[in-house]
Amino acid sequence: MTITVNLTVNGQKVTRQVEARTLLVQLLREHLDLTGTHVGCDTSQCGACVVQVDGVSAKACTLLAAQCEGANVLTIEGLAKDGKLHPMQEAFREHHGLQCGFCTPGMVMSALDIVRRHPSPDEATIRKELEGNLCRCTGYHNIVKAVAAGAKAMRG
């Protein structure tokens, strides 16, 4: 069965005909060519697919596209403005919060959600809140530093 979904992605209104069982991550990657949102596990464990839906972080491999009807979705591609990185992206680059980079988009999106809930997160909070995002390369040390620095930059 195909259905029509209407939503806003990175500020653009989009309408697509999709199979009813299409996941949000499939809509983004396969129908909208937004491949910065990665798939690491397909089962809601790794966090590589984290995006924002109406301002709140969500694992795009576990949401149906249909559940996002009318929603405002923000992906990693929507963060940089006019070739300028978002302060959280800049912090990950600056603080070497990445190695292979596969987890990075999900990490950055989760980091924004941490800042939404804790504008000045301390290290312990960041570590706890990042538990849903796996990284196999970095050992997390620089990711934690990047989130703290990004949060600070966002406070201005």
Partner 1 sequence: MAEPAPAPPHESAWLHVAGAAPYIDDLPERADCLHAAIAQASVAHGRLTKIDIAPALALPGVVAVMLAKDVPGINDCAPIVAGDPILAVDEIVYAGQAVAAVAATSLDAARRAASRIKIAIEPMPAIVTVDRALAVGSFLTPSQTMTKGDAADGLARAPRRLEGTLRLGGQDHFYLEGQVAMALPREGGDMLVLSSTQHPTEIQHLVAKALGRGFKDVVCEVRRMGGGFGGKETQAAQTACIAALLAWKTGRAVKLRLDRDVDMTLTGKRHDFRIDWQIGFDDAGRISAWSVDLAARGGCSVDLTDPVVDRAMFHADNAYYLEHARIAGHRCRTHTVSNTAFRGFGGPQGMCAIEYAIDEVARALGKDALDVRLANLYGHGSRDVTPYHQRIKDNILPELMRALETSSDYRNRRRAIAAWNAAHPWLKKGLALTPAKFGISFTNTFLNQAGALVHVYTDGTVQVSHGGTEMGQGLNTKIAQVVASAFALDFDRVKVTATVTDKVPNTSATAASAGTDLNGKAAADAADKIKRRLIAFGAEHFKVPPDRIRFTAQGIEVGTRRLTFAELVGQAYMARVQLWDSGFYATPEIHFDRERQRGNPFYYFAYGAACSEALIDVLTGESRILRADLLHDVGNSINPAIDLGQIEGGYIQGLGWLTAEELWWDPAGRLRTHAPSTYKIPTARDLPEDFRVAFWPEANHADTIHRSKAVGEPPLMLAISAWLAIKDAVAATAEHRLSPQLDAPATPERVLLAIEDLKRRAKLPAEARS
Structure-block tokens of residue 142: 């620089």
Q: Quick one: what does residue 37 bind among ligand FES, partner 1, none, with the CB cut-off 5 to 8 Å set by partner type?
A: partner 1
Q: Please say which residue, 119 or 137, places its beta carbon nearer to ligand FES.
A: 137
Task: Tell me if 108 contacts ligand FES by CB under 6 A.
Answer: no
Name which of residues 31 to 90 contact ligand FES (CB under 6 A).
39-42, 44-49, 59, 61
Task: Tell me if 143 contacts partner 1 by CB under 8 A.
Answer: yes
Q: How many CA atoms lie within 13 A of 49 on its CB side?
A: 21
Place of tokens 């499939």: 26
For binding to ligand FES (CB under 6 A), which residues are involved?
39-42, 44-49, 59, 61, 98-103, 135-138
